[in-house]
Structure 1
C-alpha cells in the first residue's frame, strides 16, 4: 500500500469503497468532481470507509494514482488523519452510528468535519421557533393520544402524521376529516412497501391507528399546496457553503406528487420536474412560482443553522408554497439525494464542497 505523508488532505468518508482491496479502482463521478475542484485549492482528496478502519493514527483509503488526473484510476494508500473531513455516509447508517468513531476522532484531534449531526424533525421545529423563524414551519405537535389527534383534525381538517426520524416518505400518512365525521387515512409507503394504503375509519377506530404506530410521530397541519395540472407540488431547495463560508444556492428541484399522492418522494410515486418546466406549466394556469421567496426562506434557515452548528455545509429543504402564496419549510434533509440534481447543479455542488473544505481547514 502506497504511503502519502504530505499535503493538505480532504478526507471523504463513504461506504462506496471496494471491500476486496483491489489495486486499481475508479470511484463514482461526484467524488471525482470533488477531487478536481479540490486541486484548485491545493488540496488532495482521499476516500475511505469509516467503518473499516483498524486504527486511526493511519487510515486506509483510496487516492488518485495521478493527483493531477483524478478522473483516472485510484489506488490504496496509507495516510495520516485528514485535515478536513466530508462525512458522506448514507443517512440510515449515520443515524445508527456508523460514523460515530470517526466523529469522535475528529473532535479529539480538532479536525473540522462537515456535516455535523443536525436536529431531527421535532427538534427542528423547536430550533426554528427559538430562531424567530416560526413563521416558516407549519403548526406541528407531537402525537400523544387519539383524542389529541381528533382535536387536531377538528381544528385543521387535514393533518399529516409522520415519524419524527423517518425518511423517504415511509409511514407518512395524510388524514382528512370528512363531512360525515369519518376520517380518511392514506399513505404512499407504509412499513417500507411502495404501495398506496387507504382506510376510512370512525373516531373509535382512530385509536387503533395510533396504537399501530411505532416510535415517535408528529402531527402537522395539512397545507393547501400549490398545484399544477391538479397535482401537489413541493420544492427541494439545496444549499451549500462556499470557499468563504457563505451559503450558495445549488438548485431548486420541483417534485410533483402522484394524483392524490401523499408525498412527493420519487420512490413513493412522485415525479421530478425542472423549475423551468414547472414555471411554464404554472404560467399557463395563471400561477406564479415564488422562486425568490423560496430561496430567501431557505437561506434564512441555513444561516440560522450555521450560527448554531459551525461546520454545517450542506442542507436540502423540502419547501412548500400554499395556495395563498405563503412559503413553508416542511422538513430538512441533512443529506439531500444528489440524484435529484442535474449536471450543472452537481458541478456547482462539488466546487462548493471543495471550497468549503478549504475554508474550514484554514479558519
Structure 2
C-alpha cells in the first residue's frame, strides 16, 4: 500500500530535526490484499509472430511478420538457442501501423532449432473519458519456435547384401555391404567410420529396443533457456484522482526531486553440459570345435550375431563385412552407424 512517513532526530544537545517522505508505495501482498486496495499494474499484452516457414535450412532468409497490439512502439528481436543469445535486432512500429516485417539469416549454429523472443514497448491512451492526459506505458511480448534442418550434418547409410535369396541356413557365411553418402548432394563419403550391429529380432521385440539415430543424440533439440525480467509491468497505474492529488502534493513541496529510474530487462543464462555416452557391448561368437559330427547339432544361440565397432569406408564410400550366423532359427536386424568429424547417419536392414 501507500504510506506517508515522517521521523524526528535528536542530537546530543537535544536539538530536533524532522524529515518526511510522502507517497511511499510498498509492493507485494497477496492477491486478495491487492484487489482490496485496488492496486493495478501496467498489463503485459501479447503480440503475434508469424514466420514465413516452419522449417529452414542454414543461410535461408527468415521473415517474421510481427502484429503489434499498439503503435507507435520500439521493439527488440532476441534469438535464444539453449541459453545462447545472438545479436538482437531492433525495429519500430510506425504510427497508425499495426505490423512490421523483420528479416534475418538462419545460422548453422542454430541447428536443430531456436526460439525467437520479441519485446515491444510503447504507450497507449488511458482508459478514461477525460482528455488532455498523457498516455500510460505499454508492453507486449511474444515467442515462436523455429526448426533448422539437420540435413547439413546427415549421412545416408545404405545397408544391403549381395545374396539374392535372403533366407539363410544356420551357421552360414553372410556378406554385408554398406555405402555412405552425403545427404544433400549424394557424394560418397571417404574415410567414414562405420559400426555394424546384427541382432536377433526376437530379443529386440521382447525388450522393444530401438536404436536411436546418432544425429538426434549429437544434435538434440535445443529449448529456450533464458529467464526474462521486466520492470515496466511492475509500474503502478494511478487513477485520475490520484494523479491530481499527486500534482498538488508536488506543488506544495519545494526542493524535492522526484526521480524515476529506468527499468531494463535482464536475461540470465543457465548453461549445462549435455553428456550422452554411447556404449556397445559384444559377446564373442562361439563356433563348433573338434571333428565334424555326423549330425550337425546347433549349439551357438548368441542373440548378437555380429558386432564390428569400427571399419573405414574407401573413396567410394563403401565398406564390406563378412561374418558367420549363429544357429538360431530367427530373423535378424542389421544396423550400420556411420560418422565422421561432424556428420552422423544410421541405416538398417532386416
- Tell me the TM-score normalised to structure 2 length: 0.23
Report the structure, 1 or 2, having the larger strand content.
2
- Which protein has the larger Cα radius of gyration, Structure 1 or Structure 2? 2
Higher relative CO (Cα under 8 Å, sequence separation at least 6) belongs to 2
Report the structure, 1 or 2, having the larger helix content.
1
